């Protein structure tokens, strides 16, 4: 870790109060900065705020549709054991266990009492709400306030660092709501707007003329609308796996009819509905930064270590772009790194060195045949990445039990897809090791 003694406090605009915005604001304040969090919703938790409403366009491609942030479906349970999933110094354990770990009599909590190792989505939302309350983050958040424009201000004479203008729209609670637009200047902006809201649809020749119904998993909530329908699922990652099992009890096996889907090998199937479980696009509709950071085939770049724009660092950073792994401990470390860099406690390499590192990373992906859209998929190196961040921040390295829990989940999802969330007895020793560490952290 390279560090400097020149500490400075910054006024930082944080966009979003989901898991990444919450932990970013906590780390920024801990470091002595003044974070202001903008959240367009009326609560914290982002994608974990289950919304029974879906968008007017079930495919989610109509740009004029009203956006629904959450992609959570009613039956959703976590795909990680809770111990591995939570932030390090606020573990995601059941409330009674937390009281025992902290040796406290009382801990106010909004938890649902869903004590399963892989709990349902409401328990995750309540955990994030508890986190926000515990660290008194609510006072930092401006709810019902959507950031609509972020730009770099022109150099002002005598100022060492450039400032950022954040324009936002505040929604009133009146009916119908009214909107007030305002603008504020910040020393830095941390983007935490999530990336599970804008559907990505696979390119399939002929699909535009296919007459049946199509829906993206973003707009799936419950199985009932699929009753007695023949459904084709596209995509076999987390949501494809979950939704195929969710609808299995209500759908119809395919029968003869007109709406034929033809596969590459020439075989075909007749279906009523295509359910696209094909992932999401990164979008930053509010960013006006002259193409210094772009989204190209779902690669947000150039970004140094998935976080800093080399050309705009340290003023512009992104938390939470990575996927396919254990995200929260990484969000926590990314946030700690950003906070330390902004205060001057941690030094970044020069712009040239960061650019070279990014170019080298892209070349390695290309040589390995990894498409650009997998740039932020850290599955193969998440713990090396965490440990690199931890090294920069002076934080302990990834715990062995966390690594082993992740490996176990990956294996069990292949061999026991139906029951991997409920068969966890073989790993009790890892749970015990996790609790031991939590006691030390707290
Ligand atoms: P989000 O939760 O999307 O939060 C972004 C926030 O930014 C939102 O509150 C939004 O309203 C706000 N926002 C966006 N734009 C603006 C704007 N312009 N102005 C103001 N506010 C704005 N992770 C796990 O660890 N375990 C799991 O089991 C798991 N399961 C998942 C299942 C599904 C279906 C999905 C979609 C994701 C899952 N994830 C899981 C990953 C999940 O995304 C992360 O857990 C995490 O909650 C993402 O947090 P975030 O803050 O980055 O984004």
Please report, for the domain that includes residue 224, its CATH number.
Answer: 3.50.50.60
Dist. CA 337–CA 180, nearest whole Å: 34
**415 in a domain, yes or no?**
no
**417 in a domain, yes or no?**
no
Structure tokens given for 199: 């559907």
pLDDT in tens, 25-69: 999 999 999 999 999 999 999 999 999 999 999 999 998 998 899
**427 in a domain, yes or no?**
no
Question: What SS3 state is found at 421?
Answer: coil
Residues 204-219 have a mean pLDDT of 90
Task: Give the orientation angle of helix 95-102 with respect to helix 428-441, to 10 degrees.
Answer: 50
Structure tokens given for 376: 């932020």
User: Which pLDDT band holds residue 3 (cuts at 50, 70, 90)?
Assistant: low
Question: What SS3 state is found at 35?
Answer: strand
Question: Are 346 and 392 in a shared domain?
Answer: yes
Question: Are 24 and 61 in a shared domain?
Answer: yes
**Cα separation values, 205 from 209, 210, 261, 264, 360, Å:** 9, 10, 11, 11, 35
* Shortest-distance Cα residue to atom 49 of ligand 1: 19
Whether residue 238 is predicted with pLDDT greater than 60 in this model: the reply is yes
**429 in a domain, yes or no?**
no
- Backbone φ, ψ for residue 88 (5° rounding): -65, -45
Question: Are 224 and 76 in a shared domain?
Answer: no
Question: Are 290 and 318 in a shared domain?
Answer: yes
Question: Are 26 and 147 in a shared domain?
Answer: yes
Q: In what order do the strands lie in the sheet with 316-318?
A: 141-142, 34-38, 11-15, 188-191, 316-318
pLDDT in tens, 172-196: 988 899 999 999 999 999 999 999 9
**412 in a domain, yes or no?**
no
| Residue 272 near residue 231, CB atoms below 8 Å | yes
Question: Are 219 and 355 in a shared domain?
Answer: no
**How far, in Å, is the centroid of ligand 1 from the Cα of 274?**
25
Q: Return the percent helix, strand and coil in the chain, to nearest 5.
A: 35, 20, 50
Of 386, 403, 420, the position where a domain reaches its end is: 403
Of 276, 302, 322, the position where a domain reaches its end is: 276
**How far, in Å, is the centroid of ligand 1 from the Cα of 351?**
30
**Residue to probe by mutation, ligand 1, list 19, 47, 191, most atoms within 8 Å of CB:** 47
Question: Are 263 and 296 in a shared domain?
Answer: no
Dist. CA 60–CA 279, nearest whole Å: 12
State the chain's mean pLDDT as an integer. Answer: 92
**413 in a domain, yes or no?**
no
Question: Are 28 and 172 in a shared domain?
Answer: yes
Q: Residue 73 belongs to what domain range? A: 11-197+280-403
Number of domains within the chain: 2
Question: Are 178 and 160 in a shared domain?
Answer: yes
**Cα separation values, 332 from 26, 95, 135, Å:** 9, 21, 14
**Residue to probe by mutation, ligand 1, list 15, 19, 119, most atoms within 8 Å of CB:** 19
**How far, in Å, is the centroid of ligand 1 from the Cα of 195?**
7
Question: Are 143 and 24 in a shared domain?
Answer: yes
* ω into 276 cis (within 30 of 0): no
Of 228, 252, 276, the position where a domain reaches its end is: 276
Question: Are 130 and 214 in a shared domain?
Answer: no
**151 in a domain, yes or no?**
yes
* Shortest-distance Cα residue to atom 53 of ligand 1: 194
Question: Are 63 and 174 in a shared domain?
Answer: yes
């Amino acid at each position: 870790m390279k560090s400097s003694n020149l500490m400075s406090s910054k006024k930082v605009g944080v966009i979003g109060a989901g898991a990444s915005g919450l932990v970013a604001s906590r780390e920024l304040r801990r470091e002595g900065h003044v974070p202001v969090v903008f959240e367009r919703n009326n609560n914290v938790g982002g994608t974990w705020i289950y919304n029974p409403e879906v968008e007017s366009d079930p495919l989610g491609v109509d740009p004029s549709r009203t956006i629904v942030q959450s992609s959570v479906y009613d039956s959703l349970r976590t795909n990680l054991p809770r111990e591995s999933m939570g932030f390090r110094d606020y573990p995601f354990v059941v409330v009674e266990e937390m009281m025992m770990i902290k040796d406290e009599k009382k801990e106010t909590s909004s938890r649902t009492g869903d004590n399963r190792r892989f709990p349902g989505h409401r328990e995750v939302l309540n955990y994030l709400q508890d986190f926000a309350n515990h660290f008194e983050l609510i006072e930092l958040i401006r709810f019902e306030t959507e950031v609509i424009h972020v730009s770099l201000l022109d150099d002002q004479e005598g100022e060492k660092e450039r400032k950022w203008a954040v324009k936002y729209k505040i929604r009133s609670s009146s009916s119908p709501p009214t909107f007030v637009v305002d603008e504020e200047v910040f020393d830095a902006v941390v983007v935490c707007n999530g990336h599970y809201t804008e559907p990505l649809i696979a390119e399939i020749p002929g699909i535009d003329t296919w007459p049946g119904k199509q829906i993206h998993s973003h707009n799936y909530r419950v199985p009932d609308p699929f009753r007695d329908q023949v459904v084709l699922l596209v995509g076999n990652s987390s949501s494809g796996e979950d939704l195929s099992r969710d609808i299995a009890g209500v759908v119809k096996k395919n029968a003869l009819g007109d709406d034929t889907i033809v596969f590459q090998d020439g075989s075909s199937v007749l279906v009523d509905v295509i359910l696209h479980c094909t992932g999401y696009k990164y979008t930053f509709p509010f960013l006006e930064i002259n193409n210094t950071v772009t989204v190209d085939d779902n690669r947000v770049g150039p970004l140094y270590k998935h976080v800093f724009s080399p050309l705009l660092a340290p003023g512009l950073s992104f938390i939470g772009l990575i996927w396919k792994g254990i995200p929260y401990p990484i969000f926590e470390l990314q946030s700690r790194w950003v906070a330390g860099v902004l205060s001057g406690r941690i030094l970044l390499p020069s712009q040239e060195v960061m650019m070279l590192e990014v170019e080298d990373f892209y070349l390695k992906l290309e040589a390995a045949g990894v498409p650009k859209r997998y740039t932020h998929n850290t599955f193969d190196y998440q713990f090396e990445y965490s440990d690199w961040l931890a090294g920069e921040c002076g934080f302990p390295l990834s715990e062995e039990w966390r690594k082993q829990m992740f490996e176990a989940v990956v294996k069990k999802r292949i061999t026991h897809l139906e029951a991997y969330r409920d068969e966890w007895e073989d790993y009790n020793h890892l749970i015990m090791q996790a609790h031991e560490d939590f006691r030390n952290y707290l």
